[in-house]
Structure 1
Amino acid sequence: MDPNEARQLVIMGTGGTIAGRAAQAGDNVGYVAAQVGVGDLVAAVPALAGLSLEVEQVAQIDSKDMGLPVWQALARRLALHLERPEVSAVVVTHGTDTLEETAFVLQRLLQPNKPVVLTCAMRPASALVPDGPQNLSDAVSVARQMREGGVFVVCAGQVHGALEVAKVHTYRLDAFDSGEAGPIACVEEGCVRRFRAETPVSGRATRDEAALSRFLAARELPRVELVTSHADAGGDLVRALVAQGHEGATRPLRGIVVAGTGNGSVHEALTAAVNEARSRGVRVVLSSRCPQGRVVPHPGLVFDHSAGLSPVKARLALALELLER
C-alpha cells in the first residue's frame, strides 16, 4: 500500500439526504434529512472496514438550512485536522442542496494543502437502493489517491472542483455537473482516473490566517442579496432592500449580486435601481443566470463582473470580501 494511503483519514458528518430516513423504503422524496449519524453511515460501507478512520459528527441538518454557524464549525475542525501530520485527507458528508456553496466557502477560506472531499446522496439511507454508500466509498478512494490539496466534490462516480461544481438536477442520481470545464476525474471500481487539473479558486496559494480568523469570529456575514434580471423586471425589490437595509439597520445591505441575462445584460428598470443602490455605497457584482459560459468583459459593461462565478458563489465571494474590510 502507498504510504499516503496508510495514513489517517477523518470523516466528518453534517447531515443531509445521505443521512435521511423515510417511513417507507420505496419513498425517495418524502424523507426527513439528517437522521442517521455519520458513524452509522461509515459502518454501512463494507469497503471502509479495516481502514484507519476517525469519525466526527460536526452537525446534523438538512443542507437547505446551511449557514454561517455550521460553516464556522466545519472550517474550525477542518483547519485543526489538516494541521495534523498523521491526517492525509478529510471526507465530509453533506446535503446536496447547498453543497456547491459549502465547497466554495471551504476552498476560499482554507486553501487546503491536503484533499478535502465532500460527498452526498440523492436518495435517503432508507431507500431500497441508496446511493450514499457508493458515494462515500468513492469519496474515500479520492481522499486516499488524490495527490494535491483542494476541496473536491464526489457524486455518482464523478469528481468535481469547488469552483465549477453545481447541482443541476432535482432528482437524478448524477445531479452535479462542472459545466464547460467538465469533471476533474471519475472513480472506477475504487480507482481514480484523472481528466484535468483543478481550476484555482482564487489567487491565494496559501491560507490567509487573518481572513480565516475574521470568518470564525463573525456573528454574521455581511448582507449580500441576489437579484435576477428577467423580462418585465423592475427595480422595486432593490429599492425595498436598500430602504430596509440602510446604515444603522440590524443588517445593513452591503452588496448585491445581479444574475443577468445572457452575457450579463440587465433590464433597464433594474439597472436604474441597482445604480441607485451603488450610489449609496452598496457593492454590485454582475453574474449570469446562464448555467454555462461567463460574463465576458467588454467596454460597455456597467458593473463589476463575477470572474466566472455562478450567482450563488459570487454572492459568497462578495460577502467574504466585505468581511475582510
Structure 2
Amino acid sequence: MENKYNLKSPAVKRLMKEAAELRDPTEHYHAQPLEDNLFEWHFSVRGPPDSDFDGGVYHGRIVLPPEYPMKPPSIILLTPNGRFEVGKKICLSISGHHPETWQPSWSIRTALIAIIGFMPTKGEGAIGSLDYTPEERRALAKKSQDFCCETCGCSMRSALLALTANSNPSAEDHKAKELAQQINFKEESSISRQASESGGAESEPSTPNQEDTSTSAGQKAADSPQAEQAEASTVTGVEEPQAPAAPSTGRPLSPRQRRAQQHSQQGQREGRDPASRPAFAPAARQPQDESHAGSAVLIVLLTLALAALIFRRIYLAQEYKFDYEL
C-alpha cells in the first residue's frame, strides 16, 4: 500500500500514522483501512455499558476525503442497531454532514469514541438516525454478535478484546474521550441553537432583518395580483378563475417560487377568453389618449404663435412703408 500512495501527501501521512496507532484492537473499538484503499476504513465498536446497546458489537465504514484531516469523514453503520440507519451516512458534528464543526485535531479514534457516546442519545429526526424501542435495541444488540462483514471478513465475536475488570483505558483514550465530550457539547449547542431559532421565528420579531423584510415585500408582491384580480371581478361582476394555491408546508415561499406563482397568475389572466375580460379594460389606454390631446394643444399653440409672428412682421413692414412716404 505504501507504493500506491504519495507519501508526501498530508492525508496519506496522517492516515498511515493513525493506522499504526490503531493496529491492535481494544476492548471497546478497533479500526483499520482496507488492504487496497487507505481512504476507506472498517471499524468495530462495543455498545456503551448500562444502555440498550450493552453487549452489542457494531461494525461500520469510515470514508475519508482526500483533504483529510482538513475535511471530515463520512460514517456509515453496517450492523443493525436501532440508533443509526444501516448503509446510510449518519449526521453528527464529526461527520461530513457538518464540515463547519469539524476540527483537524480530531482523529478516527476520536470518531470511534464519539460514536459510542452518541449511541444512547436521542435521534431527534437527524439524518440517518433511528428511535427504536429499548426492547428492539436489546434484541439487535444480541444479534450483532453474529454479524460478519463480507468486505473485510471481520467477525464481531472476535473483532474486539474481551472485557475484563482490570482493563484500564490508555492515555490516548483519555485524550480522545475529552475531545468526544467537546463534540457532544457542540452537538447539544447546535440543537439548542436550532430550537431557539425556531422559537424566535414563531414570535413576532421587534427588529426584522433584511431577509425578513425582503420576504414580506415578496409576499406583498405575490398578493398584489390576487388583490387586483379580486377587485376587477367585484367591479365587473365576472367571476375570475382562481389560481392554484401553493401547497401548505408551513414555510414561507422562496423568492423563486413567488416569481413562478406571479408568472403563472399573469399567464392565466392573459390567456382568458376575451369575453370574460373586465369591461373597463380599455381604460388602461387613458394615459396614451391624454398624451395625444396634449400634443394637439401644443401644436395649436405653436400655430397661433407663428401666426402672431407673421402678423407682426406685416405690421412692421406697413409702418416702415408709411414713414418712408412721409
The TM-score bracket by the shorter chain reads: under 0.3
Higher helix content, 1 or 2: 2
Larger RCO (CA within 8 A; separation ≥ 6):
1
Length-normalised TM-score, structure 1: 0.23
Higher strand content, 1 or 2: 1
